[in-house]
Amino acid sequence: MSTLAQEFSKGIFKENPIFRLLLGMCPTLAVSITAINGFGMGVAALFVLLGSNLVIAALRNFIPSKVRIPAYILIIATFVTIVDMVLNAFTPDLHKALGIFIPLIVVNCIILGRAEAFARKNSVARSVIDALGMGVGFTLSLTILGIIRELFGKGSIFGVGVMGSAFEPMGILATAPGAFITLGIMLGFVNFMFKRLGIE
Amino acid sequence: MNLLAIVFVAILANNIVLNQFLGICPYLGVSKRIETSLGMGMAVIFVMAMSGIVTWIVYNYLLEPFGLVYLRTIAFILVIAGLVQLVETILKKTNPTLFRALGIYLPLITTNCTILGVALLNVQAGHNIIQTIVYAIAVAVGFTIALVIMAGIRERLELASVSSFLRGAAVSLVTAGILSLAFMGFKGMMTL
């Protein structure tokens, strides 16, 4: 049995959902245009993951295993609807920028993956820690990608200009091909770092 | 809205994978060989058309009249999950040949975000039933084209010497980026 601290940190390093498990690639590519979008998406997914892991772990002895997948999807969809409405009410700009990718958190493989692989076999406390770790790992990765793409694509970080007026933004980083290429290179870099640091 | 324009934009100018970032997981997962990617593509075309029709009916005759639009995510995902299960069962009984061809890809489709994404995009764009069907099929054809092109490239990439850190997903993503760059050329031709 791993300790709670290990349970938390595995989502950030060893089993980072984006860079290690390659889960949730669609929102990663689509919303990492700016740091704030990436961060917002990460927090939205973190909330859904937390809620679904909590409820699924609490109900794990009551959900018959034959219908577990539809039951999980229903629980996840409920939390996604809550996030959708909350974001629409309090941060309409972010809601508009993330667009269709908010309802699509339902089919984000990270969330169903954690429900199936972790929450249905573990206690509520451990599932919550697992969700926090995974969610923070996802948010961090998304924000880092967003910072890189915003810094070089627009010359700013979190909407604050930092590069000065002499900087010519690399427009491609803000477009679709830029998303694929940045993530591909980041993935190679992370693989390299993990090998260097001896984490496998 | 011109149907031809919908088809052109959905397949080329605004390709679902390369431009809208939907369905990346199957795109990276099933694009290792041309045959499997064709099989996956056929299954997606089939399910996408069916789910387009069903979600359109659910939205326009069930959710909208009763003021339940806020439940659309839950309703759509349930309809899609049920539909995939139904298609699987019906195909197994009535058309075993087609079932064998599509069989293993069908369960994978429930978690394919293109299906739910297209259902939501249809509602957002306010398509009527004909436009919905045309759009759904065109998007799925665009998905298949992107998948098959990618599989063709990856089959050769297997033989190329790639740095061990970039091997696998990383180099596939960079390749997809270059492919996406090529598809961007169509954007200048027509936009909706």
d(CA A95, CA A101): 9
Tell me if chain A has a CB within 8 Å of the CB of B153.
no
Tell me if chain A has a CB within 8 Å of the CB of B19.
yes
Do residues A6 and A14 make contact, with C-beta atoms less than 8 angstroms apart?
Answer: no
Nearest CA-CA distance, residue A192 and chain B, Å:
6
B172/A184 touch (CB, cutoff 8 Å), yes or no? yes
Mean pLDDT of A26-47: 90
Do residues A130 and A69 make contact, with C-beta atoms less than 8 angstroms apart?
Answer: no
- Sketch the domain layout of chain B as residue ranges: 3-7+14-184
Tell me if chain A has a CB within 8 Å of the CB of B85.
no
Successive 10-residue mean pLDDT values, chain B, 192 residues: 83 87 82 81 87 92 88 88 83 80 70 85 89 93 92 88 83 91 82 60
Mean pLDDT of A31-42: 90
- Taking CA–CA distances from B79, the nearest residue in chain A reads A70
Q: Give the ipTM.
A: 0.84
pLDDT for res A181: 92
Strands annotated E in chain B: none
pLDDT for res A18: 83
Cα–Cα nearest to B55, from B111, B109, B116: B116
Number of domains, chain A: 1
Q: How confident is the model at residue A87 (pLDDT cuts 50, 70, 90)?
A: very high
Dihedral of the CA atoms B137, B143, B148, B151 (nearest 10)?
Answer: -160
Nearest CA-CA distance, residue B12 and chain A, Å:
14
- Taking CA–CA distances from A179, the nearest residue in chain B reads B177
Mean pLDDT of A121-141: 91
Is pLDDT above 70 for A28?
yes
Residues in CB range of B37: below 8 A, 6 or more apart: B30, B31, B144, B147, B148, B150, B151
Q: Is the dihedral of CA B49, B51, B54, B59 positive or negative?
A: negative
Do residues A183 and A38 make contact, with C-beta atoms less than 8 angstroms apart?
Answer: no
Looking at every residue in chain A, the average pLDDT score rounds to 87
Three-class secondary structure of residue A160 per DSSP: strand
A180/B173 touch (CB, cutoff 8 Å), yes or no? yes
Instruction: State the alpha helices, DSSP H only, in A109-166.
Output: 109-114, 124-154
Q: How confident is the model at residue A135 (pLDDT cuts 50, 70, 90)?
A: very high
A106/B73 touch (CB, cutoff 8 Å), yes or no? yes
CB-based burial label for A134 (10 Å; 0-12, 13-18, 19+)? buried
A177/B71 touch (CB, cutoff 8 Å), yes or no? no
pLDDT for res A156: 83
Phi/psi of residue A156, nearest 5 degrees = -140, 165
d(CA A162, CA A154): 10
Place of tokens 């390093």: A13
Nearest CA-CA distance, residue B149 and chain A, Å:
16
Is pLDDT above 60 for A81?
yes
Nearest CA-CA distance, residue B147 and chain A, Å:
15
pLDDT for res A45: 93
Cα–Cα nearest to B142, from B5, B7, B3, B2: B7
Three-class secondary structure of residue A63 per DSSP: coil
Place of tokens 């069962």: B89
Tell me if chain B has a CB within 8 Å of the CB of A29.
yes
Is pLDDT above 60 for A1?
no
Residue A69: C-alpha distances to residues A73, A120, B44, B45, B132 (Å): 6, 11, 21, 24, 28
Give the tens place of pLDDT for each residue, A156-195: 888 787 777 777 888 888 888 899 999 999 999 988 888 8
> Structural domain of residue A46, as residue ranges?
4-146
> Per-residue b/e over A46-72, b at no fewer than 16 CB within 10 Å?
bbbbbbbbbbbbebbeebeeeebbbbb
Mean pLDDT of A1-29: 81
- Is there a domain that residue A100 lies in? yes
Residues in CB range of B129: below 8 A, 6 or more apart: B53, B56
Percent of chain A past pLDDT 70, that is, above it, reads: 98
Tell me if chain B has a CB within 8 Å of the CB of A67.
no
- Which residues in chain B touch residue A73, judged by CB atoms under 8 angstroms apart? 77-78, 81
- Is there a domain that residue A85 lies in? yes
